[in-house]
């Protein structure tokens, strides 16, 4: 009988222990726009980046609270300008248990180049990667390329052995390079691992207990990363305590309401800007005076007020030029763009086209309703100059097709652009170098020899010289006015009080890389 009572007591204790453990488990719930791309060689959007930064590791990561990059999987590196040699940590294992070696780095690089998708264009100057030994990898560039270290924040290292064991159908030795497998599984060494994945609905991740870096005990045990939730749904879920962090795409009114109800507002800034793009290859904006006229006519302050959430937080901040304030080469905050209707009229008087003869096509991307407000604001500003305009909604797919040819590109369009690496090259070169014309980033179709030369110099210069080069390029672009630099974007996320995110609430702990603030191991759950 005593034995039986002891067994029953032990069973109760075990059940209590299990219940206690289950109760202690923390779950972080957040959302973004679909789809969630798991394959890191195809990742390019914000949701993809968040997945990549948590499931995989890279050789370097952005410094916290300051410019520059720190070693991560690497312990350090040397370079002569065309070759970069990295020493690797020897204590890192993938989630499969396989050790991470230089062969995995080479495989990840070769796979990125072979697939040619996602952000592979960042590595166009990188010719090859070689494993010098198990803990040393060397990259060789076709020519000196100063932003190379920054691009490595976008080269997640993949478990070669795991992928080779799971190759799908395809041609040649590498078949599909593991694309089918990596669309539903991760093969990284990251602090979190995939539990389940539906690219249109939700990715569930769990903490990796074997991660090579320390992870706070308060970091979320499980993460539910949801896709495509309606703003009204997010608002209700947060208000009911059933959601923790919203996407950055909630309308200002919803964010304002959530803040009034006690939600905290997290912010990410200095990585992206909102550009009103002007087609410089088609009348009337092939005349720089006409472009400068509408640049001075635009009401920048009104634009920022349109996206204000509280007295202290807005989804936009005053822009000073083509680079967000705080980035290498950016102009100081006291040089913010301002409306000046008299200057606008003066430049218009010098334009070879008469305002009464103009009828400007103002477009906004259908998937980003916020842009309609800016199109209507600019329409009102143009009317002050006697310029007629028509506002038109354009689906993203049609817009990206239209801009490939100058004659089909709208007079004016709008896009949010962020630097994929934290380096100004990935903003300016992709928008304003003549070689980039005709992409969604570059519907301006700008062709200017001085801008081209400066951007080429910025790619080859020493780190000490790059700030001055990009500042000069920034000023030249500002003088040419191929875009209206409407505002520096501040990504604002509504969050419950359950979660603490220093990288999105404390500027001294922020990262100059979009999405990196959502490194879950750096977050803490308060209950």
- Paired with 14 in beta bridges are none
Residue 115's SS3 state is helix
Q: Enter the tokens of residue 182.
A: 């990596």
Residue 44 lies in a domain: no
Span of 225-229, 247-251, 288-292, 472-476 with lowest mean pLDDT? 247-251
Provide the whole-model pTM. 0.88
pLDDT for the residue numbered 389: 98
Residue 11's pLDDT band, with cuts at 50, 70 and 90, is: very low
Of all residues in the chain, what percent are helix, strand and coil, respectively (each to 5)? 35, 20, 40
Instruction: Find out whether 271 and 518 touch, Cβ atoms under 8 Å.
Output: no
Q: Enter the tokens of residue 95.
A: 């989630």
Cis peptide bond N-terminal to 35, omega within 30: yes
Query: Residue 71 to residues 60, 87, 248: CA-CA distances in angstroms?
Result: 4, 10, 29
- Cβ-based neighbour number of residue 108 at 10 Å: 25
| Statement to judge: residues 180 and 202 lie in one domain | no
pLDDT for the residue numbered 17: 42
Instruction: Find out whether 159 and 187 touch, Cβ atoms under 8 Å.
Output: yes
pLDDT for the residue numbered 437: 95
Residue 403's pLDDT band, with cuts at 50, 70 and 90, is: very high
Residue 426 lies in a domain: yes
| Statement to judge: residues 98 and 213 lie in one domain | no
Q: State the helix-helix crossing angle for 463-480 and 425-432, rounded to 10 degrees.
A: 40
Our count of domains for the chain comes to: 3
pLDDT for the residue numbered 187: 98
Q: Bigger pLDDT: 9 or 242? A: 242
- C-alpha radius of gyration, the chain, whole number: 25
| Statement to judge: residues 350 and 209 lie in one domain | no
Which of 138, 160, 189 is the last residue in one of the domains?
Answer: 189
pLDDT of 19 strictly over 70: no
| Statement to judge: residues 100 and 241 lie in one domain | no
Residue 51 lies in a domain: no
| Statement to judge: residues 160 and 259 lie in one domain | no
Query: Residue 257 to residues 254, 316, 349, 495, 518: CA-CA distances in angstroms?
Result: 5, 18, 45, 12, 23
Angle, CA of 17, 21 and 23, to the nearest 5°:
115
Residue 134 lies in a domain: yes
| Statement to judge: residues 339 and 217 lie in one domain | no
Residue 179 lies in a domain: yes
Percent of the chain predicted with pLDDT > 90 = 89
Q: Which domain holds residue 114?
A: 57-189
pLDDT of 306 strictly over 90: yes
Residue 180's SS3 state is helix
Residue 9's pLDDT band, with cuts at 50, 70 and 90, is: very low
pLDDT for the residue numbered 13: 43
| Statement to judge: residues 326 and 213 lie in one domain | no
Average pLDDT of every residue of the chain: 93
Query: The domain that contains 144 carries what CATH number?
Result: 3.90.76.10
Residue 106's pLDDT band, with cuts at 50, 70 and 90, is: very high
pLDDT of 16 strictly over 60: no
The DSSP code for 145 is -
């Amino acid at each position: 009988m005593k034995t039986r009572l002891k067994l029953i007591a032990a069973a109760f204790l075990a059940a209590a222990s299990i219940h206690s453990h289950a109760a202690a488990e923390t779950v972080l719930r957040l959302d973004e726009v679909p789809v969630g791309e798991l394959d890191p060689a195809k990742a390019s959007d914000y949701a993809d980046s968040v997945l990549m930064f948590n499931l995989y590791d890279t050789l370097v990561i952005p410094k916290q609270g300051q410019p520059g990059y720190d070693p991560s999987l690497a312990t350090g590196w040397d370079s002569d300008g065309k070759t970069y040699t990295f020493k690797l940590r020897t204590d890192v294992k993938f989630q499969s248990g396989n050790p991470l070696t230089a062969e995995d780095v080479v495989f990840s690089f070769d796979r990125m180049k072979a697939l040619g998708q996602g952000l592979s264009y960042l590595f166009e100057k990188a010719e090859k990667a070689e494993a010098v030994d198990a803990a040393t990898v060397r990259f060789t560039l076709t020519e000196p390329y100063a932003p190379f270290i920054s691009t490595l924040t976008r080269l997640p290292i993949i478990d070669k052995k795991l992928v080779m064991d799971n190759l799908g159908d395809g041609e040649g030795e590498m078949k599909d390079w593991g694309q089918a497998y990596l669309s539903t599984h991760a093969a990284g060494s990251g602090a979190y691992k995939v539990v389940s994945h539906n690219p249109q609905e939700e990715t569930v991740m769990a903490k990796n207990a074997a991660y090579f870096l320390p992870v706070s005990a308060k970091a979320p045990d499980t993460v539910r990363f949801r896709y495509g939730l309606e703003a009204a749904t997010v608002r209700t879920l947060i208000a009911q305590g059933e959601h923790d962090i919203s996407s950055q795409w909630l309308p200002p009114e919803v964010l304002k309401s959530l803040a009034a109800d006690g939600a905290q507002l997290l912010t990410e800034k200095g990585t992206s800007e909102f550009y009103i793009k002007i087609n410089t290859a088609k009348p009337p904006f092939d005349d720089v005076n006409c472009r400068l006229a509408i640049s001075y006519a635009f009401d920048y302050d009104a634009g920022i007020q349109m996206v204000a959430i509280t007295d202290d937080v807005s989804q936009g901040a005053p822009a000073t030029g083509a680079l967000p304030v705080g980035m290498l080469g950016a102009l100081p905050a006291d040089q913010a763009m301002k409306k000046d209707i008299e200057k606008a009229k003066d430049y218009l008087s010098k334009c070879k086209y008469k305002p009464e003869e103009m009828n400007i096509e103002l477009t906004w991307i259908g998937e980003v309703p916020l842009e309609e407000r800016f199109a209507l604001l600019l329409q009102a500003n143009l009317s002050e100059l006697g310029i007629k305009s028509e506002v038109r909604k354009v689906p993203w797919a049609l817009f990206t097709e239209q801009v490939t040819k100058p004659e089909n590109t709208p007079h004016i369009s709008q896009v949010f652009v962020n630097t994929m690496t934290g380096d100004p090259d990935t903003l300016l070169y992709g928008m304003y170098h003549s070689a980039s014309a005709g992409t969604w980033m570059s519907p301006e179709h700008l062709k200017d020899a001085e801008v081209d030369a400066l951007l080429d110099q910025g790619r080859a210069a020493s780190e000490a010289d790059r700030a001055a080069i990009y500042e000069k390029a920034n000023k030249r672009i500002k003088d040419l006015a191929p875009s209206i630099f409407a505002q520096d974007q501040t990504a604002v996320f509504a969050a419950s009080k359950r979660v603490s995110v220093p990288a999105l609430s404390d500027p001294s702990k922020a990262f100059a890389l979009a999405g990196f603030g959502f490194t879950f191991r750096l977050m803490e759950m308060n209950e």
